[in-house]
C-alpha cells in the first residue's frame, strides 16, 4: 500500500503498512529518504506517535526514521493468544519489519517495553543494530535482578501483577471512562495523553497491549550482554524504575556505554524531555 499522510502527525511523516510474519504493521516513516535508518520502538500503552517531539531533531540531522506500531498496537497485527506476545515474538517482528523495509542495519531507539525489545534485539542480532539507545527501562537482566532483590524496585513494579490479571486490569484501566488509563499519563499533558488513550479504547486493543505483560516469563528477561555502542537514558523522577536497576545496566554492555540521567523528568521521557532525548540519541549515533 502506498504511504498515506496521517493528519495527526507531522507533514514530513507518512504511514506505510508493512506485511511481515503473516501480520500487517503500521510503520511511520520520515526524514531523508537516503538517511541512515533509525528504528523507533514505543512502550506501553502508547504507539509510535510518542516520538513525534523527538523526530524533528533526528530529521534535521539527516536521519531516516521508522516508527513501528508494534504487535498488538497495529490493528492488523493483533493475534489472539497471550503466548503470541512473548518477547522473542516481539523481537522477531522487529527483524522482519527491517527485512521488509530493506534495512540491513539500523540505529535502534526503544522506550519502556520498546526498550526491552531493543535490548534483546541488540544482544541477539548485533549485525542488525548499529547503535542502541534504550530509554527508561534498563537491561532486562539488571531489571530482573533488581525486582528480585531490591525492595524499592519490587514496590515500584507492583502494578505488573495487576496488569497480568485478565479482565481485572481491563476493568481497572477502562472503568469510569478510562480514568485509570488516563492517570497513567499524569504529567504528560491532557492532549498528548488523549492521543495514547483513544486507540486503547478500540475493542481488543488494551487486552493486546496488556498481553505483553501476561506473556512475560523469566526466559523473556534472560538477555545476553550487548556488544553494540549503547546509551541508556533514565530519569530520576521515574516511578516505575529505580536507580538500582538503572545503574546496573552498565555491567551488561561490553561495547561503548553511556548512562544519561535526566533530572526532574518522569517515566515519559519522549513526551517530557524530547530535546534532551534527541541530543542523547544523536550523540550516540555520532551526529552533531
Considering only CA atoms, which of 210, 230, 110 is closest in space to residue 167?
Answer: 210
Instruction: Give percent above pLDDT 70 in the chain.
Output: 95
Q: Which residues contact 78 (CB under 8 A, 6 or more apart)?
A: 71, 72, 204, 205, 208
Q: What's the predicted TM-score (pTM) here?
A: 0.95
Structure confidence at residue 187 (pLDDT)? 84
CA–CA distances in Å: residue 190 to residues 7, 62, 196, 205: 19, 32, 10, 21
- Start-to-end CA distance of the chain, whole Å, equals 35
pLDDT in tens, 224-277: 999 999 999 999 999 999 999 999 999 999 999 999 999 999 999 999 999 999
pLDDT in tens, 90-120: 999 999 999 999 999 999 999 999 999 999 9
Structure confidence at residue 12 (pLDDT)? 53
Domains with residue ranges and CATH for the chain: 4-285 (3.40.50.1820)
Mean pLDDT (the chain) is: 94
Burial 26-61 (b: 16+ CB within 10 A, else e): bbbbbbeeeebbbbbbbbbbbbbbbbbbbbbbbbeb
pLDDT in tens, 55-79: 999 999 999 999 999 999 999 999 9
Q: φ, ψ for residue 130 (rounded to 5)? A: -75, -50
Amino acid at each position: 500500500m502506498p504511504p498515506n499522510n496521517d493528519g495527526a502527525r507531522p507533514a514530513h511523516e507518512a504511514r506505510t503498512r508493512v506485511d511481515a510474519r503473516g501480520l500487517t504493521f503500521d510503520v511511520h516513516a520520515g526524514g531523508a529518504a537516503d538517511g541512515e535508518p533509525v528504528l523507533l520502538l514505543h512502550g506501553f500503552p502508547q504507539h509510535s506517535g510518542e516520538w513525534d517531539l523527538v523526530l524533528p531533531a533526528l530529521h534535521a540531522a539527516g536521519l531516516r526514521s521508522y516508527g513501528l506500531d508494534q504487535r498488538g498496537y497495529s490493528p492488523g497485527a493483533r493475534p489472539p493468544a497471550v503466548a503470541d506476545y512473548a518477547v522473542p515474538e516481539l523481537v522477531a517482528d522487529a527483524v522482519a519489519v527491517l527485512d521488509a523495509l530493506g534495512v540491513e542495519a539500523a540505529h535502534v531507539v526503544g522506550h519502556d517495553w520498546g526498550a526491552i525489545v531493543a535490548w534483546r534485539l541488540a544482544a541477539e542480532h548485533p549485525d542488525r543494530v548499529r547503535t542502541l539507545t534504550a530509554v527508561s527501562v534498563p537491561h532486562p537482566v539488571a531489571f530482573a535482578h533488581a525486582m528480585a532483590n531490591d525492595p524499592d524496585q519490587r514496590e515500584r513494579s507492583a502494578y505488573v501483577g495487576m496488569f497480568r490479571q485478565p479482565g481485572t486490569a481491563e476493568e481497572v484501566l477502562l472503568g469510569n471512562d478510562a480514568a485509570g488509563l488516563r492517570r497513567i499519563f499524569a504529567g504528560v499533558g491532557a492532549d498528548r495523553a488523549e492521543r495514547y488513550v483513544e486507540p486503547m479504547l478500540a475493542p481488543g486493543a488494551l487486552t493486546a497491549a496488556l498481553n505483553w505483560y501476561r506473556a512475560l516469563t523469566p526466559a523473556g528477561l534472560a538477555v545476553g550482554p550487548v556488544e553494540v555502542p549503547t546509551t541508556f537514558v533514565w530519569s530520576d523522577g521515574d516511578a516505575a524504575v529505580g536507580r538500582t536497576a538503572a545503574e546496573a545496566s552498565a555491567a551488561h554492555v561490553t561495547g561503548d556505554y553511556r548512562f544519561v540521567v535526566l533530572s526532574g523528568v518522569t517515566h515519559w521521557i519522549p513526551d517530557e524531555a524530547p530535546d534532551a532525548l534527541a541530543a542523547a540519541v544523536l550523540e550516540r549515533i555520532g551526529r552533531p
